[in-house]
């Protein structure tokens, strides 16, 4: 999974070690440490090519644990650690034991790059390579902030933007700058700013899907505006990305008997990233919601590529674009998501015919050759319902469902109460999560609250 087999300088190694050891302190304490810093563009690029730190594992994806696409047995539930159990049943204290600070390790790396690059360019002059490095750092920082926002602050809403607390926005690698919480508005303003700036600096294409490019930044803007329910802008950015690259892979070419049917860097993928998720979601424990599984038509190739029979009518997920069987969860960017964003935004703008046409362009590549009958819709509302159902079916285990639930719960047409049922012999335990419940926002870790004094999310 490495992009490059580079031998980093001693300075880079020391900096990365300090990053790993200090990411918690970055949010919480104010140590007085002296760091060995990078001194060249090559050093900065090496930091950004730290795939384990920036592409894998550091976007913890709490949201996937809380989503409703899967269920586990009581024995699987009982065998997991307290953290997994609480997240699964939406317990109020769930996030008090999470590793939220892991999100800030990539933020620290990016801020270090952004802090050092002006010093290097002032000495050596601005170059195209310097712009690409700066764009990459901005992209990865916005990417980290986006995922933090999906877990630790309320969904974006025009009604209460200045009243609700956002995430800590670390914009400097200086440990001595205290961490504070801004607002939801400030959080999303920063995410949008990072992605927009990145889109002007990054190259049109990149030589590795581990490195972001302009298309990835446009896709990130489309995803972010969708989460903000700004459907005009989400559709615009999805269109812009697809005008550059609209490749879709034909699912008929893949082996349904494989436990990892999709190549790790398939042609549909724009940018690779994956979340390190709890082992509760391993293929041997997490089973697909039966109603969801049955919603796939017999001629829909996804029914065999996405799912593996576990006997007794149970199925696990195996269709990750991340090259793994359900863990980690792929949360990078691919063109299928952009088609779905464009289709949804067209439906919401009243263009039912164009919306369904966009959806059909995607689905014809997902059904057995020659069997797909194009969908049709009598009106925009019907088109939207079809598109949202297909969005859920296509973007399984992509960290999309939780964000979708958060935004769709505000619409009575799509709001739903989630339910977990655990059967332990004669005892049945039922846990529910109503629409717009406060538990759709995870609690910040208790030690962060005690060390920084920042306000906790309400309950």
CA 7 vs CA 42, 50, 106, 296, 426: distances in Å? 11, 12, 20, 48, 59
Considering only 51-60, 225-234, 236-245, 370-379, which range has the smallest mean pLDDT? 51-60
Over range 282-298, report the average pLDDT.
Answer: 96
Chain-centroid distance of CA 253 in Å reads 27
Share of the chain above pLDDT 70, in %: 87
Nearest partner of 182 among 197, 171, 174, judged by Cα: 171
Q: Which domain holds residue 188?
A: 1-60+99-202
The answer as to whether 128 is a domain residue is yes
Determine the pLDDT at residue 33. Answer: 38
H/E run at residue 38: none
State the pTM of this model.
Answer: 0.92
Does residue 239 belong to any structural domain of this protein? no
DSSP string, 307-376: EEEEETTEEEE---TTSSSSSSEE-SEEHHHHHHHHHHHHHHTT-HHHHHHHHHHHHTTTB-TTT-----
The CATH number linked to 23 is: 1.25.40.390
pLDDT tens digit sequence for 1-36: 443 333 333 333 434 434 433 444 555 443 333 445
Residue 42 lies in a domain: yes
Q: Looking at the domain assignment, is residue 216 inside a domain?
A: no
Number of domains in the chain: 1
Interval 163-189: pLDDT, tens: 789 999 999 998 888 888 989 999 999
pLDDT digits 0-9 by tens, 38-54: 889 999 999 999 998 89
Closest CA relative to residue 445, chosen from 168, 186, 56, 175: 168
Structure tokens at 337: 């998501």
- Which residues are CB-neighbours of 370 under 8 A, at least 6 positions away? none
For 21, the enclosing helix (H) or strand (E) is helix 10-27
Tell me the pLDDT band of 122, cut-offs 50, 70 and 90. Answer: confident
């Amino acid at each position: 999974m490495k992009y490059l087999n580079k031998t980093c300088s001693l300075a880079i190694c020391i900096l990365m070690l300090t990053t790993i050891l200090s990411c918690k302190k970055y949010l919480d304490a104010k140590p007085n440490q002296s760091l060995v810093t990078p001194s060249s563009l090559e050093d900065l690029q090496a930091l950004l090519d730290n795939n384990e730190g920036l592409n894998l594992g550091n976007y913890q994806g709490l949201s996937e644990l809380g989503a409703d696409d899967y269920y586990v047995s009581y024995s699987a539930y009982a065998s997991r650690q307290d953290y997994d159990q609480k997240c699964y049943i939406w317990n109020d204290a769930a996030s008090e034991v999470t590793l939220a600070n892991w999100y800030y390790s990539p933020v620290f790396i990016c801020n270090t790059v952004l802090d050092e690059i002006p010093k290097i360019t002032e000495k050596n002059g601005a170059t195209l390579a310097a712009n690409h490095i700066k764009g990459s750092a901005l992209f990865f920082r916005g990417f980290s902030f986006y995922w933090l926002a999906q877990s630790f602050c309320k969904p974006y809403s025009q009604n209460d933007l200045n009243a609700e607390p956002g995430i800590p926005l670390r914009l400097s690698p200086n440990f001595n700058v205290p961490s504070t919480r801004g607002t939801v508005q400030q959080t999303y303003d920063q995410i949008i700013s990072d992605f927009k700036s990145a889109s002007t600096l990054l190259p049109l294409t990149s030589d590795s899907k581990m490195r972001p490019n302009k298309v990835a930044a446009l896709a990130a803007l489309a995803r972010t505006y969708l989460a903000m329910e700004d459907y005009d802008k989400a559709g615009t950015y999805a269109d812009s990305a697809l005008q550059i690259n609209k490749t879709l892979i034909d699912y008929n070419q893949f082996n349904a008997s494989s436990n990892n049917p999709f190549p790790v860097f398939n042609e549909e993928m724009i940018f690779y990233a994956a979340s390190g998720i709890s082992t509760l979601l391993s293929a041997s424990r997490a089973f697909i919601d039966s109603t969801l599984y049955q919603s796939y038509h017999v001629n829909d190739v996804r029914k065999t590529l996405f799912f593996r029979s576990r006997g007794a009518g149970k199925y696990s997920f195996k269709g990750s674009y991340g090259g793994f069987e359900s863990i980690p969860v792929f949360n990078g960017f691919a063109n299928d998501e952009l088609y779905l964003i464009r289709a949804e935004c067209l439906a919401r703008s009243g263009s039912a015919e164009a919306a369904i046409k966009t959806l059909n362009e995607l689905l014809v590549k997902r059904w057995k050759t020659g069997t797909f009958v194009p969908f049709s819709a009598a009106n925009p509302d019907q088109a939207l319902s079809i598109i949202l159902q297909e969005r859920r079916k296509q973007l399984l285990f992509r960290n999309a469902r939780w964000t979708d639930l958060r935004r769709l719960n505000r619409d009575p047409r799509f709001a739903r109460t989630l339910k977990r049922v655990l059967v332990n012999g004669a005892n049945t335990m039922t846990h529910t999560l109503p629409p717009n419940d406060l538990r759709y926002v995870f609690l910040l870790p208790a030690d962060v609250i005690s060390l920084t004094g920042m306000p906790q999310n309400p309950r």
